Amino acid sequence: MKFDFDAALFALSYALDCVEHDLLGVTTNHGKRVADRDVLDGRAH
């Protein structure tokens, strides 16, 4: 079974952004930005 690390990171970032929106009423997309950076870092190594 293959694990799609990119999809897992983006799913987690989406979940974090949803929780942020529910708790704070704002969306900064911080989770998405962090996931994007982590995916790029992972591909570089």
Backbone angles phi, psi at 22, to 5 degrees: -65, -40
Distance CA 30, CA 35 (A): 9
pTM: 0.62
Q: 30: helix, coil or strand?
A: helix
- Computed over every residue of the chain, the mean pLDDT equals 81
Residue 45: the pLDDT is: 64
Scan for tokens 């990119």, then name that residue.
Answer: 6
**Looking at residue 25, what DSSP letter applies?**
S
7 pLDDT band, cuts 50/70/90, is confident
Contact 22, 40 (CB under 8 A): no
Distance in angstroms between the alpha carbons of the first and the last residue of the chain: 22
- Structural domain boundaries of the chain? 5-44
Q: Is the pLDDT of residue 29 over 80?
A: no
